[in-house]
Structure 1
Amino acid sequence: MPKQRKVGNLLALAVLSALTQRPMHPYEIATTLRAWGKEQDMEIKWGSFYTVIRNMDRHGLIEAVESVRAGRRPERTVYRITEAGRAELVDWARELVSTPEPEHPRFRAGLSVLAVLHPDEAAALLRRRLELLDEGIRAARGVLAEHLRQLPRLFLVESEYDVAIREAEAAWVRALLAELTDGTYPGLDQWRAFHETGELPPELSDPTERSGSTQ
């Protein structure tokens, strides 16, 4: 189970990581996170950004060090990370790296209702997904190779992970497509018959319904 944190929004994690570089005002923090491409690493809702900053300040994870004004711009408060904030950042990183948590990708949701599609249509859609995955993998590999010429690998490990996950998904989709195409997928005939006759074969009915009908 993930820990209950004083500020549990992952945006707080990103803010803490930015402030390890140096003190910044919120606008500068947001600019830095965008430059780092943090939106690709985690879901960031910029509408809650200043609320997260205020909550972090209230809980002692960051603290104001000064207010600055440039020209006619509004006064901006500069924040730095506190010792409590550094401890939170390290502890949070340890948890995220060491402890798997259930995640719910949209693809999994689609697979959970795959039976509503005719197997031929399902195969065509999976084939299209595989094409897009392969295109994305090639593009991601190219970007990663370019970045590796400019940055240490340590700062690109999340991009390596992303490519590996895409490759694993592509391999799984490719294997599933092979079974659908050569007819070796278990229950394929019953699946096809369901869409062609409109009648659900007993083999594909809900196991809980089958057990209930015998009582």
Structure 2
Amino acid sequence: MARSVDNPLALAVMGLLMERPMHPYEMSAVLRERGKDNSVRINRGSLYDVVTALDGEGWIMAQTPVREGNRPARTVYVLTETGRDAFIRRLDEQIRNPRREYPIFLTAVAYLGALGPDGAQAALRERADRLRATIADDQRALKEALASGQVPRLFVIEAEYALHMAHSELAWVNTTIEQITTGALTWPSGHETHNDEGN
């Protein structure tokens, strides 16, 4: 099985093709319109790699290329019965079974002590500011998507999940800043200082 089939983008592509046949350019546009680029990395190369891999597995199938006006002919893909079964099976497994994921922040926060209390507070405050800005942007985008009436809530429900996760992270960051400030989170002797020059 091609590695591209394991890319989270593969699930998104098959999900779109559950709705209707599409060509890759339309897939990209719809994914971005629905804010899926917040949960999967979408670029032309990765999308075409995924489409090629899914086609190779027999999970999607190319139809006759379609020409619209003066534009180049575009190949439209449909989800096969085998692909639909694979999509449902994979989706069911991923929803049922929590997997341990390894975000960069989780790795970095394990070494928070190296920054010293002042450096840790400064870094966490900046992260909190950026999280608040991201949350505001994502809430605005979700509200606009739903207000258009063209995107059912079910199609953007992962954006709600992402917002909940961001709110939870922000709450943890704020609590940790407070614990550093009050001394509830202490540094081992000899690790209390950090040169923040240049930060």
TM-score of the aligned structures, taking structure 1 as reference length: 0.76
Quote how far apart the aligned CAs of 1:61 are. Answer: 0.7
RMSD after superposition: 2.6
Q: Using CA pairs below 8 Å that are at least 6 residues apart, which structure has the higher relative contact order?
A: 2
Is the aligned partner of 1:136 residue 2:143?
Answer: no
Answer with 1 or 2: which has the greater Rg.
Answer: 1
Question: Partner of 2:21: helix, strand, or coil?
Answer: coil
Instruction: Go from structure 1 to structure 2 and tell me whether the alpha carbon gap of 1:7 and 1:141 turns closer, same or farther (over 3 Å shift).
Output: closer
- Residue 6 of structure 1 contacts residue 59 of structure 1 at CA under 8 Å; is this kept in 2? no
Is the aligned partner of 1:100 residue 2:122?
Answer: no
Deviations 1:95-133 (A, max 9, x none): 221111121222112212212212112112212222222
In structure 2, the residue matched to 1:25 is: 23
In structure 2, the residue matched to 1:208 is: none
In the comparison of the two structures, how many residue pairs are matched? 191
Q: Which amino acid aligns with 2:31?
A: L
Q: Which one of 116, 121, 124 corresponds to residue 123 of structure 1?
A: 121
Q: Which amino acid aligns with 2:84?
A: R
- Residue 69 of structure 1 contacts residue 76 of structure 1 at CA under 8 Å; is this kept in 2? yes
- Residue 10 of structure 1 contacts residue 42 of structure 1 at CA under 8 Å; is this kept in 2? yes
Q: Which amino acid aligns with 1:179?
A: Q
Cα distance in 2 for residues equivalent to 1:136 and 1:48? 25
Q: Which amino acid aligns with 1:53?
A: V
Question: Partner of 2:118: helix, strand, or coil?
Answer: helix
Q: Which amino acid aligns with 2:49?
A: T
Deviations 1:29-54 (A, max 9, x none): 33332333321121234313223222
In structure 2, the residue matched to 1:180 is: 180
Question: Partner of 1:194: helix, strand, or coil?
Answer: coil
- Residue 58 of structure 2 contacts residue 82 of structure 2 at CA under 8 Å; is this kept in 1? yes
In structure 1, the residue matched to 2:191 is: 194
- Where does structure 2 lack aligned partners over 5 or more consecutive residues? 195-199
- Where does structure 1 lack aligned partners over 5 or more consecutive residues? 198-215
Deviations 1:3-45 (A, max 9, x none): x989222222122122222222333333332333321121234
